[in-house]
Structure 1
Amino acid sequence: MTIPKKKWLWFGLLLSLVIGSNVMVYRVEWEAPLPSGMALGSLFDFMITIPLLVYIFIIRKRYSLKYVLPVMIAGYGAAMLIIPQGYLAGYSFVKYILFAGEGAFLLIELYVIYKLMVKIPAMIKSYRAAVTENPTLHHRMAAAWDQHMEPTRMRDIFFSEMTMYYYSLFSWRKKPLVNDQTYTYHQKTSAIALYIMLIHALVLESIGFHFLLHSWNPTVAIIALVFNVYTLLFFLAEIQAIRLCPIRMTDQHLYLQVGIVKQLTVPLEGIKSIHYYQGPEKLTKEEARHVFDATAADFMKEKPTFELEFHQPVEARFMYGMKKRVTKAHLRLDEPQKFYSSLSEKINTMSNI
């Protein structure tokens, strides 16, 4: 589920007003001193108003209410950076209340982690013994998890992180899966070159920007460095997943995985048709909501080769458990005719059963 464009605009406008007004209050020189309660009002904005906006526009009906607490902590951190220290002297108790809430939340999370740790040996055993149609990391982990625990949002987040770290750090000796069931989609594109260029730019930007930030605020510099390292690992994981996880077609399913970001599993009997794509180069936002884009990122932004249509909407899965229902998929492959012939034959066989 995505947030409509108008809601994004309203969210950005209200967030800018709240943050901008508070920044202006403490950066403009006033003739009279600020009221003693001004800092308390600013803390209220950052720890109550902003989390409330995030809840209304983003979290509500999409994620658990527990995600409000990290937003409150981030708001407190932002307030510490914006409000001069002299104004916060009388409100040191706020951070203790916040940390107490975080401590209670952490205890609950530790209990959940404990339950997970107890079952990890059995899950690892199931993972090693798992026999699935699609032997990629994510599908094998899902098969092992589902034998011992119920699917949850925590599982999706855990899988996303594990997948990123595995492909970015531990998959460099792996060879791409190549057989009659696999179809690559990146060799005739500039997808790998694009990510290499982004990595190059990120590394150069990180070095210069880190020293600039460090001269202003060492804490902010460290936070920015952590985000840049995380982004670097993400780009490396994308390169490896694109190489090692081609599109796979079995006798029962079509597995579409694009890097580590998105994947779609479609039963072959659920595919209505496959035809060469004749649509526009760029879809409208309304059309894109119902289409799964299984093409690799590219400098040239070429049109897809094929369009698949489904009998019923199919659930596409994205990083961190995000989902959407799609009725079509767009593909661009290195061996299009081979894929077209194979899938058309399987669809005809299914329809005749």
Structure 2
Amino acid sequence: MTKPKGYAVNPADIGQEAIRQFVLAGLSEQLASLIVLAILITIEICLAIASARFLKATCQEALWLSFRNHYHILLNRGVTIKPIASTCGQSAVTFRVPYWLFSNKDGSRDKRRSNNRLIRKPSVLQVSHYSISSKQPYLIYWLYKELLLRNVAVAAPLVACNGSTFPVTENRASLANSSRPTTNAIQDIYEHYKSHPTDFEEYCADLFRRQGYKAATTPKTNDGGFDIKMVDPSGGICIVECKCYNPRTESVGRDTLQKLVGANACMQASRMIFITTSHFTSNAIEYARAIPESMELIDGGKLEQLIRTASQTRNVQDGARQEPSTNLNQVIDWEEIARHFPPDV
């Protein structure tokens, strides 16, 4: 039978009909009433949970959008964002590294314990009116570096592990600066960094910092297909790939440049820069000229020129008074956090 237009279902009628059907099936009216009551309560609880989850998801979306509009950073879906009171103009970040419930002296898992498990607590970054957390420390580290690229003041990071919290005082940039090639000759630079390519990346990043860029190196793993992310003095985003190749025997080909272009399909940087201590093949040079994106090629000769320019800039800066600030020259490297992880994680 077709219900008339505007007909509304009465929950009480549904309950009564359900009780009647249970009674017809042979149950007592009292038992049938209890069963229907339990079903209705379960439905109410499920609806309440669904409503709460929908409300939470809606609030998260609103906060994600607000954060993106404020800082022009698209947060990873692996983080949770909550509103907080103001941080008084400076961000704070605590990296909580995982640890075993029962561990050996070196922090590795104690295999004698059958109920042993890895404890993961959320790392937290607070900035403005936002608190962003994740049980994946690297997601918070990525956000920390993105904020520094945008000149957002960040207090000295803390590392927390198994109840202990301490500041991270070492930074990779200062270590790289303390050990430099003895000359600016490209062959000497290659010999100095050939066994430490990540130090070469930091060396290149520092060359651009001296020219007013904000530069941060990417981690050894999951680097996204490039080694350095920079913001130039005009605010443009640049990505850089570095190859410490033998100037006498090696070269960079077209296929290597294509990988950087592929990485930029996700980054959408306005400029790409490829640096090598050796040289580029003719096919690579033609490819860089032909693509619609802007790609700058810096070979060994141009790198020597860049080093001389940066050295002159540094001499001027060393003679001037430097105001203390939190910037990318003081940013900690991911390895300074990762070294606190258990060796078997």
* TM-score greater than 0.5 by the shorter chain: no
Tell me which structure has the larger Cα radius of gyration: 2
Normalised by the size of structure 2, how large is the TM-score?
0.21
Structure that is richer in helix per residue: 1
Normalised by the size of structure 1, how large is the TM-score?
0.20
